[in-house]
Chain A
Amino acid sequence: MQPADVLAELVGDVQPIDSKQLRKELSRVWDDGPQDRVRLSTMNLVMVVTEPSELKGIGEDLNLLCEHYPARVFVAVLDHEATGEEVSAWYSSCARGTQVFNEQVTFYLPGDCDRQLPSLLAPLYRMDQPVFLWWRGKPGFHEKIWERMIDNADRIVVDTSTERGLLEPLQKQVRDPYHQELAFSDLEWTRQSRWRNLLAGLYDRPGAPEHLKKVTRLEIGFVPGPTGALSAPFYMAGWLASKLGWKVETPYANGKATFRSANGRAVEFALINEEGPDVLHNRLLYVRLDASPLGCCYGVYRKPDNPRVYVSQISGEVEEHTATSAPSGYVAVSTLRKSAPKTEENDFFMPFAERQNLIAAELEVYARQPLFEAALASAADLLGAAVAK
């Protein structure tokens, strides 16, 4: 069986079409079909896959996704290892009643046929609808077609957990003046949104933001994966640094770095590599912020016996509000005072994010995300400086 045939099996219920006459073929598909069908579409979704086996089950995933985000979908399989000079293409669609919400063209591009891809896609995009480019696997920053592909895109979604050292090239892409109109994002950043929410939630209590100004140490526990990617802990450090105004003073090396806060205080950063089961590879185990002069510590941990349960913890002498009752007509006054040393814990259940939930979150975002970009810049500073050194 030819690789392209294997691919057709993986893609699912599809019909082969002539890639040289795609537009005509697509018209024919519609002209020959039932006349009461309506195409739904809010975007063009291009998914680039560099490993054909990743296609298994992708048809089902895309159908679920497109039920909420109707799209014209293009799946492009770049098989650099294969030999061949012919692009193969298949068509499939998925409908609810008469409404077609996923109209999909799958391309198989062996060898260097990937050069043809941008020119095959351009005339097929639904004009005036945004183009989401989801590059699965190792992002193709160095691929010849990368610039041409992003030329026509509005949103670029990559995943830096797939290889070590991708934060810096991603940062270069984001900062490229030619990419001002492009909104980049990283699934690895999106995977951590729950961590960020929980950590930020710890500081919602009165008086707690003051502790943020006195943080002296950031410690992140992390289970490295086989790819060696470090983007998860560095996004976390980058996010905190960018939000709290920390600048890199001593770049990352041997698990350590130092930031300098806006008020001149040194903040020590420690990345602790931990052992963990496969399911935790490339994932954070804990994030902990110490404000040692105050003797208190804020952190979010995975529960050792159930990594899907997170514990948010505040320990040490915590400043607390004490409200005094006020007579009628007077304003109640609350005062802050230090509590006795104690530990507060709350448990939160959070399942691992499914791939389709992650990409669904990305499809909600159309514009550039300053929060992400600032975190990426700080993370790249921290790592880039380390590499340079």
Chain B
Amino acid sequence: MQPQAGPAIYELAEANLLPSSFAMVGLSRTKMSEEDFRKRVTPDGVESHTNWQNLVKNFTYLDGNYDDPATYARLKARLDELDASVGTAGNRLYYLAVPPEAFSVIADQLAAAGMHKPGKDGKWARLIVEKPFGHDLESAVKLNQELQRDFDESQIYRIDHYLGKETVQNIMTLRFANGIFEPLWNRRYIDNIQITAAETLGVGDRAGYYNQSGALRDMLQNHLMQILALVAMECPISNAADDIRDEKGKVCRALRHYKPLEVDENAVRGQYGPGFVDGQKVPGFFEEPKIPADSRTETFAAARIFVDNWRWHDVPFYLRSGKRLARKVTEVALTFKKVPHRIFDFGAGDLEPNVLLLKIDPEEGISLRFGTKMPGLTEQIRWVNMDFQYGTSFARPSPLAYERLIHDCMVGDPTLFTRADSIEACWRAFDPILKRWADPASGAVPQYEAGSSGPREAETWMEDQGRYWRKL
């Protein structure tokens, strides 16, 4: 079970957004009592809440092998029982929080048991799949084919929790519900866009998985690309899911594909060494358990992405993500072009560009950076921020990302879920980078100190382009 799912279901119940008849069946290979399963999904501090106790009594558990038809026969029987006892009436949401190699096995078994088909009278069956959606283009195409063999694309909900974050959803509202931004949202006014997801955590107990994955697969190709698509897409003709997903898909299809040697000019990577994070000494990547000494897996990745269309011609989108960096932050920074003619004598310094910052995590909000005259008799200019914070403008806290996504899946709104065509288009753009980095001829992986802003190579790479990373 996805660890965030329990709290999400609790929040949905608290907000009266769960159907009155709701039940959950946990299924895994682990032997576990129903009581233990209920404990496991119960969020901290709500054990004694009446609402939760009423809800959790309809949570049951089965253990079994994913490839065993008998497991699904028992699951089907249990679901049918719940239909009768709780009144769930045949709607099915299958949430696959399992290793990726089990996705198609489970989908096949569900289909073989006849559990994949929507029921009569509008009853639905939907499948939520967690990333990774393949580890390269070939495997992604194969996975999509296997899932679509059993389920219709409209039944498949590929979950990307970044899309459930309030500020990410607000990108569309900011762009298309306000008149002042969209006229500036193009190559004429924007110099570059930086999308950053920096973490302070190391690979920790995910080392085994992470060593097979790396920052590019784990973050850039999916989470950051989904944000990029929202930032770069054209205005959809409506708010309908497929109108939005069509526009996002066009962005993914417009991504420039690099030739192997072009990768070196357009992407940079790194691996963290030991250092200090939050004042604590932390081990380097190679000191983490399960990391082989010859690992070439990157824990930091940055790439310059181009969207080859009319709006974004030659505007670089810089995607950057890494582990054990100086601070935890996820943000989108749109840096505007500088004024064409300078009339102010502002010391020796250059006039700074305006920056529109979309803060996603840990702060949620938007700020606009602009120059203003300092009070007094001089012409000095200072750069200030006009800030909007979700936390201070709205009394209601933002819903959890999974709360929003599970709710959307239950009501059949796939807007915030990723479609197969977009996934494959993204892999097409990122595959050459993966292949190049896997090639020893691409050179040694640069190292960086834990707690820093990443490898020095990333800084110089950016400076060589006449730009700078936003400070972490």
Q: Give the segment of A156-164, A262-270, A319-327, A361-369 that binds chain B.
A: A361-369
Report whether A120 and B278 are in contact in the complex, using a CB–CB cutoff of 8 Å.
yes
Report whether B346 and A123 are in contact in the complex, using a CB–CB cutoff of 8 Å.
no
A119 to B274, CA, bound (A): 12
A20 to B329, CA, bound (A): 19
**B468 contacts which chain A residues (CB < 8 A)?**
181
A122 to B327, CA, bound (A): 6
Report whether A119 and B349 are in contact in the complex, using a CB–CB cutoff of 8 Å.
no
**A118 contacts which chain B residues (CB < 8 A)?**
276, 326, 451-452
| A248 within 8 A of partner (CB) | no
Q: Which residue of B lies closest to A369 (CB)?
A: B348
Mask for B453-472, Cβ within 8 A of A = 1, else 0?
A: 10010011001000010011
Report whether B276 and A152 are in contact in the complex, using a CB–CB cutoff of 8 Å.
no
Picked from B200, B350, B385, the residue with its CB within 8 Å of the CB of A128 is B385
Report whether A116 and B349 are in contact in the complex, using a CB–CB cutoff of 8 Å.
no
Report whether A19 and B327 are in contact in the complex, using a CB–CB cutoff of 8 Å.
no
**B200 contacts which chain A residues (CB < 8 A)?**
123
**A129 contacts which chain B residues (CB < 8 A)?**
385
Within the complex, the shortest CB–CB distance from A29 to chain B, in Å, comes to: 17
Within the complex, the shortest CB–CB distance from A346 to chain B, in Å, comes to: 25
| A178 within 8 A of partner (CB) | yes
A-facing residues in B351-369 (Cβ within 8 Å): 355, 357, 367, 369
Within the complex, the shortest CB–CB distance from B272 to chain A, in Å, comes to: 12
**A151 contacts which chain B residues (CB < 8 A)?**
452-453
User: Interface size for chain A: under 10, 10 to 19, 20 to 34, or 35 or more residues?
Assistant: 20 to 34
Report whether B452 and A116 are in contact in the complex, using a CB–CB cutoff of 8 Å.
no
Mask for B351-392, Cβ within 8 A of A = 1, else 0?
A: 000010100000000010100000000001011110000000
Q: Which residue of A lies closest to B331 (CB)?
A: A127
Mask for B72-101, Cβ within 8 A of A = 1, else 0?
A: 000000000000000000000000000000
Picked from A128, A180, A183, the residue with its CB within 8 Å of the CB of B349 is A183
Picked from A115, A119, A120, A367, the residue with its CB within 8 Å of the CB of B347 is A367
Report whether A42 and B382 are in contact in the complex, using a CB–CB cutoff of 8 Å.
yes
A370 to B349, CA, bound (A): 9
A20 to B277, CA, bound (A): 10
Picked from A116, A123, A367, A369, the residue with its CB within 8 Å of the CB of B327 is A123
Picked from A42, A119, A148, the residue with its CB within 8 Å of the CB of B279 is A119
| B11 within 8 A of partner (CB) | no
Report whether A128 and B276 are in contact in the complex, using a CB–CB cutoff of 8 Å.
no
Within the complex, the shortest CB–CB distance from A99 to chain B, in Å, comes to: 15
Report whether A367 and B350 are in contact in the complex, using a CB–CB cutoff of 8 Å.
yes
| A64 within 8 A of partner (CB) | no
Report whether A367 and B451 are in contact in the complex, using a CB–CB cutoff of 8 Å.
no
| B328 within 8 A of partner (CB) | yes
Q: Interface residues of B, CB < 8 Å — how many? A: 37
A118 to B463, CA, bound (A): 23
Report whether A178 and B456 are in contact in the complex, using a CB–CB cutoff of 8 Å.
yes
**A180 contacts which chain B residues (CB < 8 A)?**
463
A178 touching B279 in the complex, CB below 8 Å, given contacts A119-B326, A123-B328: no
**B463 contacts which chain A residues (CB < 8 A)?**
177, 180
The number of A-B residue pairs with CB atoms under 8 Å apart is 79
Report whether B326 and A122 are in contact in the complex, using a CB–CB cutoff of 8 Å.
yes
Report whether B453 and A152 are in contact in the complex, using a CB–CB cutoff of 8 Å.
yes
Report whether A115 and B276 are in contact in the complex, using a CB–CB cutoff of 8 Å.
yes
Report whether A119 and B278 are in contact in the complex, using a CB–CB cutoff of 8 Å.
yes
Report whether B278 and A123 are in contact in the complex, using a CB–CB cutoff of 8 Å.
yes
A123 touching B348 in the complex, CB below 8 Å, given contacts A20-B279, A151-B452, A151-B453: no
Report whether A178 and B459 are in contact in the complex, using a CB–CB cutoff of 8 Å.
yes
**B238 contacts which chain A residues (CB < 8 A)?**
none
**B471 contacts which chain A residues (CB < 8 A)?**
127, 131, 152
Within the complex, the shortest CB–CB distance from A156 to chain B, in Å, comes to: 14
A180 to B460, CA, bound (A): 11
Report whether A119 and B348 are in contact in the complex, using a CB–CB cutoff of 8 Å.
no
| B26 within 8 A of partner (CB) | no
**B278 contacts which chain A residues (CB < 8 A)?**
20, 22, 119-120, 123
Report whether B456 and A87 are in contact in the complex, using a CB–CB cutoff of 8 Å.
no
Report whether A123 and B280 are in contact in the complex, using a CB–CB cutoff of 8 Å.
no
A-facing residues in B307-361 (Cβ within 8 Å): 326-329, 346-350, 355, 357
A115 to B463, CA, bound (A): 27
**A122 contacts which chain B residues (CB < 8 A)?**
326-327, 451, 472
A148 touching B449 in the complex, CB below 8 Å, given contacts A20-B279, A119-B277, A127-B329: yes
Mask for A112-138, Cβ within 8 A of B = 1, else 0?
A: 000110111011000111010000000
**B384 contacts which chain A residues (CB < 8 A)?**
42
Report whether B349 and A366 are in contact in the complex, using a CB–CB cutoff of 8 Å.
yes
Within the complex, the shortest CB–CB distance from A45 to chain B, in Å, comes to: 15
Report whether B349 and A123 are in contact in the complex, using a CB–CB cutoff of 8 Å.
no
Most buried by A among B279, B329, B348, B472: B279
B-facing residues in A365-384 (Cβ within 8 Å): 365-371
Report whether B369 and A116 are in contact in the complex, using a CB–CB cutoff of 8 Å.
no
Mask for A155-182, Cβ within 8 A of B = 1, else 0?
A: 0000000000000000000000110110
A128 to B470, CA, bound (A): 9
Within the complex, the shortest CB–CB distance from A28 to chain B, in Å, comes to: 16
| B275 within 8 A of partner (CB) | yes
Q: Which residue of A lies closest to B333 (CB)?
A: A128
**A20 contacts which chain B residues (CB < 8 A)?**
278-280
**B279 contacts which chain A residues (CB < 8 A)?**
19-20, 22, 87, 116, 119-120
Q: Which residue of B lies closest to A23 (CB)?
A: B278
**A87 contacts which chain B residues (CB < 8 A)?**
279
Report whether B453 and A119 are in contact in the complex, using a CB–CB cutoff of 8 Å.
no
A116 touching B348 in the complex, CB below 8 Å, given contacts A128-B357, A148-B452, A181-B468: no
Report whether B327 and A365 are in contact in the complex, using a CB–CB cutoff of 8 Å.
no
Report whether B349 and A367 are in contact in the complex, using a CB–CB cutoff of 8 Å.
yes
**B460 contacts which chain A residues (CB < 8 A)?**
178
Report whether B357 and A367 are in contact in the complex, using a CB–CB cutoff of 8 Å.
no
- List chain A positions with a Cβ less than 8 A from chain B: 19-20, 22, 42, 87, 115-116, 118-120, 122-123, 127-129, 131, 148, 151-152, 177-178, 180-181, 183, 364-371
**Can you give 30 A-B contacts (C-beta < 8 A)?**
A20-B278, A20-B280, A42-B384, A87-B279, A115-B276, A118-B452, A119-B276, A119-B280, A119-B326, A122-B327, A123-B278, A128-B369, A128-B385, A148-B449, A151-B453, A152-B453, A178-B456, A178-B459, A178-B460, A180-B463, A366-B349, A366-B382, A366-B383, A367-B346, A367-B348, A367-B349, A367-B350, A368-B349, A369-B348, A371-B348
11 more A-B residue pairs beyond the given contacts A22-B278, A115-B276, A123-B327, with a C-beta to C-beta distance below 8 A? A42-B382, A116-B281, A118-B452, A119-B277, A123-B328, A127-B471, A177-B463, A181-B468, A366-B347, A366-B349, A368-B348
5 tightest A-B CB contacts, nearest first? A367-B349, A122-B326, A119-B276, A119-B451, A120-B279
